[in-house]
Structure 1
């Protein structure tokens, strides 16, 4: 199998954006987060709305593509076992060891816990419900916070393992190949139409929760893009079309954003007696939903096309960053919230404080990954890495052979 460097690079970029997004969550006004700075601003809302529409969908799409690129050599049963080990072990470890600093900071700030992390941790490990308002997930007794992605990805991987014989069958492969080479508008609008169906039908009654249960809309959306990644990612014709359509899909993204912004502006500025206000609200609501789903799929198609065109090359930094992505993902939000918790009382201002929080988060991820996680064999699987470090093993073998 030829290594797809663009997919590795996209994963690195997507998780880097996730760190910046979570940093901004502490500073955007009007949006809830586990811990908020005193220096919030509404100016971050629009950039974050633009990013929030597709950031997680991109991660699930990339995951589906990465599995597809493994090819048929991985049997469904072995695939399910490997995914369970690589996703659930870091999830459980993270919930009990990495994440607890987040609910501690949140509970102390909310006045539901006394300072002293050790005492909090002993109480947290009992997995008993906490008083309402203690921290996100408190009624469950434990929380996974940003690690919810691992639970969702594991469940979709198990669905894929069950469907793999069907999805790998000749009729499905032929149908997927025909669609992958379809005209540009079909490749753009059909997936957007499926996402529109979920948004219009499921989202009103099932808003996002990230709690796995009662999260019907998000499951429908993320499972759809995950399976699309698996089905389309293995078709050479899809990648040719994505590259060829990258300007068209980018134009569709721009049009969707402009029309959505215009709809919002009309809702604010139209006079009460305007004839346009007599149109049914459902008419305007469906247009907004169409813009939203066209924007999401348009961004995904655009990103894949431009990445295939310019990122499918062996960058020197890519192997190291590809390995570092998983540990950094597990660590980053706990380090971020802990840094903000300790820096917030110092009143450092709206520039220095977020800069120091970002530096502390990146430095913590770098140091823990480089000098602990990747070098200790039994710790590596707890952060989603293979037990043997290929780079270190090769260096050790080279030294041994040289001495011999």
Structure 2
């Protein structure tokens, strides 16, 4: 980071596409997916609907954190349409520069939290004794919704984007027939035009599937006594628990981010792979270590203050870069000095924020809230639907010129209402639709047994 530059950090974006895209500011969308979490005991049985009926001890705090994280996702993606100078598929005319700062506050750890929860979820599943079954179930639950989403849920997004920028002719039916041919589009038509099709916000499913299969291959090694003793030792030491992952994240942001800026395109997205795979693996290794949970609870105040101090320094450097006079002595300091400070504070902020969230979540959220079972099931469908609803609604609202307060209020309300109605009235009640949205085929009312889909 340089005080000679007044711009905000590059490399974050609205959402991903299959192919490389130009890095833009702002970052978009994941548990082993938006899926229920439980520490399971007892014998497992794989039914015809690919589900488990188990006796379990719930980790309510992990389920609740995922619900809140995906609620934040809807709010975040709605705000992406209004953040000035940040790339998104469709922008409102009511963009505001001040929104960059609260968005920066959350977008440094938002996706890392979801991948951390993914690793914890898999750890609590304890799948080590049935790796082939585990890999098959994860493939079913991740790739089927991804493919369905790319061909059915997502297309409205590139259509609206292409019509808005003048590269696509109006007429969704004609566009859809052309889109399903998976042929390249004219340059700049939409994110992913080179490949004819895009996954946009569903990139998380593709990344998670790859990390999950890689983890399954590594599980025999990660379960050895040497590795488990090393993990327990690191979890028991506050210095190592905070410092080691922060140092790894710093290494990736120093060495990889300048060469491989974030694309959400899977191939050659090495900085994001290093970052997200690190927190995903940390979640798996630490997730069922009792000493880890004791530590994150005991250190929750410390990690919160460290996170606030780190983000304060990080944002402060950004502000200094904008307000310092050109002849200021601080601007004469070497650029690598400021760059290292910015990257170090960013890395420390990400990991301490994650630890603080887990610690405070364990204290306040580890209880059976009445709303939790319904919301836990609703996460996956809402995740798949929300950004398409945002783009479609904004495409319709923009010409109405409703103003800077009414338009975002209707956009957010319409998105939440649309997710609620489509999930409640259609997805959860139609048996054949449920697996396409990551749910078990059997609706909850069809069985008195408590079932948990992987």
TM-score by structure 2 length? 0.85
Report the equivalent of 1:24.
Answer: 79
Residue 398 of structure 1 corresponds to which residue in structure 2?
A: none
Work out the CA distance in 2 between the residues paired with 1:275 and 1:356. Answer: 48
Deviation at residue 114 of structure 1 after TM alignment: 1.6
Q: What is the aligned residue count?
A: 394
Instruction: Tell me the equivalent position of 2:331.
Output: 277
Structure-1 residue corresponding to 2:348: 294
Instruction: Give the match for residue 65 of structure 1.
Output: 120
Deviation at 1:109, TM superposition (A): 0.5
Partner residue of 2:195?
A: 140
Contact in 1 for aligned 2:127/2:134 (Cα 8 Å) = no
After TM superposition, give the deviation of residue 201 of structure 1 in Å: 0.4
Shift of residue 269, structure 1, vs aligned partner: 4.2
Q: Say if 2:252 is the partner of 1:198.
A: yes
For 1:234 and 1:349, the matched residues in 2 are separated by 49
Match of 1:111 in 2: 166
Change (3 A) 1:170 1:371: same
The match for 1:13 among 45, 53, 68 is 68
Partner of 1:326: 380
Q: Does the 8 Å CA contact 1:71/1:234 hold for their aligned counterparts?
A: no
Partner residue of 2:24? none
**Cα shift at 1:58:** 0.5
The corresponding residue for 2:101 is 46
| 1:246 matched to 2:315 | no
Give the Å deviation of 1:254: 1.3
| Structure 2 Cα separation of the partners of residues 32 and 223 of structure 1 | 25
Alignment counterpart, residue 290 of structure 2, candidates 231, 236, 243: 236
Report deviation, 1:74.
Answer: 4.9
CA distance in 2, matches of 1:100, 1:262: 40
Q: Tell me by how many angstroms 1:348 deviates.
A: 0.7
Identify the match of residue 389 of structure 1 among 443, 449, 452.
Answer: 443
Cα distance change, pair 286–161 in 1 and its aligned pair in 2 (3 A) = same
Deviation of 1:178 after TM superposition, in Å, equals 1.4
Relative distance call for 1:267 and 1:178 in structure 2 (3 A) is same
Query: Against the structure 1 CA distance between its residues 351 and 261, is the aligned structure 2 distance closer, same or farther, given a 3 Å change threshold?
Result: same
Partner of 1:75: 130
**Cα offsets for 1:17-37 (capped at 9, x unmatched):** 000000000011111100011
Q: Calculate the aligned-residue CA RMSD, in Å.
A: 1.3
Partner of 1:165: 220
Name which of 155, 162, 165 aligns with 2:210: 155
- Distance change >3 Å, CA 9–CA 53, structure 1 → 2: same
Q: What is aligned with 1:304?
A: 358
Q: Please state which structure has a larger fraction of its residues in helix.
A: 1
Of residues 261, 275, 280, the one that matches 1:226 is 280
Structure 1: where are the runs of 5+ without partners?
396-404
Cα drift, residue 237 of structure 1: 0.5
Segment of structure 1 superposing worse, 96-105 or 355-364: 355-364
**Maintained 8 Å contact 1:180/1:232:** yes
Normalised to the residue count of structure 1, the TM-score between the two structures is 0.95
Offset, 1:129: 0.3
Q: Please say which of residues 5-14 and 381-390 is displaced more in the overlay.
A: 381-390
- Aligned residues of 2:128 and 2:220 also touching (Cα < 8 A): no
Counterpart Cα distance in 2 of 1:19 and 1:171? 42
Within 2, Cα distance between the matches of 1:32 and 1:190?
33
Q: How many angstroms apart in 1 are the aligned matches of 2:212 and 2:341?
A: 33
SS at match of 1:394: coil
Once the two structures are TM-superposed, the CA of residue 273 in structure 1 deviates from its matched residue by 4.6
Note if 1:99 corresponds to 2:184: no
> In 2 relative to 1, CA 270–334 (structure 1 residues): closer, same or farther, beyond 3 Å?
closer
1:346 partnered with 2:415: no
Q: What is the alpha-carbon distance in structure 1 between the residues aligned to residue 121 and residue 90 of structure 2?
A: 34
Alpha-carbon distance in structure 1 between the residues aligned to 2:324 and 2:427 = 57
Once residues 386 and 169 of structure 1 are traced to their aligned partners in structure 2, the CA distance between those partners, rounded to angstroms, is: 33
Greater relative contact order (Cα 8 A, min sep 6): structure 1 or 2? 2
DSSP-derived class of the 1:75 partner: helix
Aligned to 1:399: none
